[in-house]
Amino acid sequence: MTENLILANALLVLPGEVRPGALHLRDGQIAAIDTGTSVPKGAVDCGGDYLAPGLIELHTDNLERHIQPRPKVDWPHNAAILAHDAELASVGITTVFDAMRVGSVPTGVGRYKKYARGLADELLSLRAEDALKISHFLHLRAEVCSETLEEEMEEFGPADRVGIVSLMDHTPGQRQFRDLSKLEAYMKGKHALNDAEFEAHIAQLRALRDTHGDRHEAAAVAHAARYGAVLASHDDTTEAQVAVSHGHGIRLAEFPTTVEAARACHARGISVIMGAPNLIRGGSHSGNVAASDLADLGHLDILSSDYVPSALLLAAVQLGHRWGDMARGLATVTMTPARAVGLMDRGRLEVGTRADLIRFRLRGDAPALRGVWSRGLRAG
């Protein structure tokens, strides 16, 4: 069923501007856009609230958090997927690329097993049953420092809605784990490793990278092309790493760790994604470059909620205030990510696009959601 309605007397967040107006929704799409503050008979009076496109999330670990809320706890998957879907809808996210790791280390210290194919089947089954509130795609995080990447990626194909493949390299001593003390604190805290076990873990990962890394990287690039997915890099640190990314045809850079890398990405036409929690907290929890610094330099294109779904709208509004341009701030979580992954049917308020919408007003500097619509139906 579809919901036909008019949302009037709102501040419409349009491409490049914010202006008063009304949206007419019909059969899951935006059917018309009016200007002004009048409220036609039968319309919903938004009372000057903002109306913006639904938020588009390209990278979130939230589904994994629901599946494994604690180490060694495997929560019932259908319940976890439905809870994840409902949570994202409740914070204004109407399109999500669910991150799933491919590439496992089933032997040795700090081992981890494969899970992506089975979880993707469960997610896609719920989608086929129309049991989900919002639109879901897959984001395969291809861990090149692993034992099983190639065989796991072989299990996916063009019918699986794989929208993004990101090249992950968590070899200790570079990228995200340049500072081994931070990796040590993480591994010892999460997996209770002692000193000898941590050293063995480091040695194992470095050996895996030496043995399989280059082959795995090439395989991930080839499989992304087979799926029709957009390629992303992860934690680029140097201009040389960005040059390699560019050579692979990468279009998205997730969380570059330095100004040098972000600047090099822009010079090569690669869009930069930064974490909303980084922006809100005023810096990276890993000690890497602050998202606010990249925003001020003009090197930030897209925000991701990463590990806090509710951060996405708040950070976009903060960027709007920082830049003095709310339309530009909101574009980092709507129009820009949609275009980056080739979704031209959403991400902006235009006639004929999907009626994926959020309604919010500001309480001080913080956005308070008043409504969420997915395909014209109330989702939150």
HSE (CB half, 13 Å, CA atoms) of 91?
A: 21
Which pTM value belongs to this model?
A: 0.91
Which pLDDT score is estimated for 175? Answer: 61
Q: Supply the pLDDT for residue 70.
A: 86
Cβ proximity of 177 and 209 under 8 Å: no
Say what the pLDDT of residue 2 is: 55
Closest to 169 measured CA to CA, from 73, 58, 255: 255
Q: What domains can you pick out in the chain, each with its CATH number?
A: 1-53+346-380 (2.30.40.10), 54-342 (3.20.20.140)
pLDDT score, position 1: 47
pLDDT (tens digit, 0 to 9) for every residue of the chain, 380 residues total? 456 899 999 999 999 999 999 999 999 999 999 999 999 999 999 999 999 999 999 999 999 999 999 878 899 999 999 999 999 999 999 999 999 999 887 676 666 789 999 999 999 999 999 999 999 999 999 998 888 899 999 999 999 999 999 998 866 646 666 666 666 566 655 666 677 776 676 777 777 676 776 888 999 999 999 999 999 999 999 999 999 999 999 999 999 999 999 999 999 999 999 999 999 999 887 778 999 999 999 999 999 999 999 999 999 999 999 999 999 999 999 999 999 999 999 999 999 999 999 999 999 989 999 999 999 999 98
Chain centre to alpha carbon of residue 236 = 17
What's the confidence (pLDDT) of residue 185?
62
CB atoms within 10 A of CB 348: 22
Q: Residue 265 in contact with residue 340, Cβ under 8 Å?
A: no
Report how far Cα 351 is from the mean position of its chain's Cα atoms.
26
| 8 A C-beta contact, residue 367 and residue 358 | no
Exposure letters 250-286 (e unless 16+ CB within 10 A, then b)? bbbbbbbbbebbbbbbbeeebbbbbbbbbbbbebbeb
Residue 182 is predicted with a pLDDT of 62
Which DSSP helix (H) or strand (E) runs through 134?
none
- With H, G, I as helix, E, B as strand and everything else as coil, classify residue 181: helix
Per-residue model confidence (pLDDT) at position 72: 82
User: What residue type is 18 in one-letter code?
Assistant: V
Say whether 369 sits in a helix, a strand or coil: strand
Q: Give the SS3 label for residue 363.
A: strand
- Specify whether the CB–CB gap between 46 and 28 falls below 8 A: no
Strand 5-14 relative to strand 17-26: parallel, antiparallel, unpaired?
A: antiparallel
Instruction: For residue 233, list its beta bridge partners.
Output: 167, 253
Give pLDDT, residue 101: 95
- Contact residues for 182 (Cβ-Cβ < 8 A; gap 6+): 286, 287
Q: What is the pLDDT of residue 288?
A: 87
Q: What is the pLDDT of residue 170?
A: 66
Cβ contact 237:255 at 8 Å? no
Write the secondary structure of 30-67 as one string of H (helix), E (strand) and C (coil): EEEEEECCCCCCCCEECCCCEEEECEEEEEECHHHHHH
Rounded to an integer, what is the distance from CA 308 to the centroid of its chain? 11
Residues 45, 8 contacting (CB under 8 angstroms) = yes
Place of tokens 């059917």: 31
CA distance 316 to 319: 5
Which secondary structure element, helix H or strand E, spans residue 372, and what is its range? strand 366-374
- Taking alpha carbons only, the member of 22, 13, 28 closest to residue 378 is 28
User: Could you tell me if 249 and 279 are in contact, meaning their C-beta atoms sit under 8 angstroms apart?
Assistant: no
